[in-house]
Amino acid sequence: MKFTAYERSLQGTGASRRLRLANKVPGIVYGGGDPTMIELDHNALFFALKKEAFHSSILEMELNGKTEQVLLRDQQMHPYKPIVLHVDFQRVGPTTKITKKVPLHYSGEENSDAVKIDKCLVNHVVNELPIACLASALPEFLEVDLSNLKKGDALHVNDIKLPDGIKVVTQGKPNPVIVTVVNPAEEEEEIAPVVVAAAPEKGKAKKSEKQNKK
């Protein structure tokens, strides 16, 4: 994916506020040299951030007539308004080693015995995983085939077929679970209807009171 950025010289809270009022987003590009302060068109960036590939692939940034390869590292959003406040990019090259979270794309669960035969539910425990690799080998996503799932199964990180040069960073957990097969919930037992005693008619109630007085 490509996008255009412009170098900016003014810094500080006041300068950033003026940029946002002009529908621009302040940002920074670091790595592979001195950090560069940049600004981007807000609307173009806002809609780019909605695309999965913008978060998990190498991007081509045009700056001052030159194209650099960068990776999105962070974005700051307004607490409750659809406004991007700041964005960070990292310059990368073919030999740059990176750690980055990439999304998991699950497929085939509707064809598994767990779903087709046993009517189980497939629970996606995680939807992304941190991986370590060269920037040039960064995958946009990892494909996970669930077509062989059976009742009672669980899928772990080591069950994923990874491309060459890709390593999952498990952060202390040797082989965490990413998918579980859950038995279908039992039907709720029917609740017996509650019988409410009818209130006595007014006339009969008065008659009963008189009989009690006698």
Fold of the CATH domain 98-182: RNA Polymerase Alpha Subunit; Chain A, domain 2 (2.170.120)
**Average pLDDT, integer, range 76-83:** 93
Distance from C-alpha of 197 to C-alpha of 201, rounded to nearest angstrom: 12
**Average pLDDT, integer, range 132-143:** 93
What is the CATH code of the structural domain delimited by 2-92? 2.40.240.10
- Checking if the pLDDT of 192 tops 60, the result is no
- CATH 2.170.120.20 boundaries in the chain: 98-182
- CATH 2.40.240.10 boundaries in the chain: 2-92
pLDDT digits (tens, 9 = 90+) for 12-60: 777 788 888 889 999 999 988 889 999 999 999 999 999 999 998 999 9
Note the pTM of the prediction, 2 decimals.
0.76
> Taking a C-beta distance cutoff of 8 angstroms, is the pair 29, 90 a contact?
yes
25-29, 64-68, 189-193: range with lowest mean pLDDT = 189-193
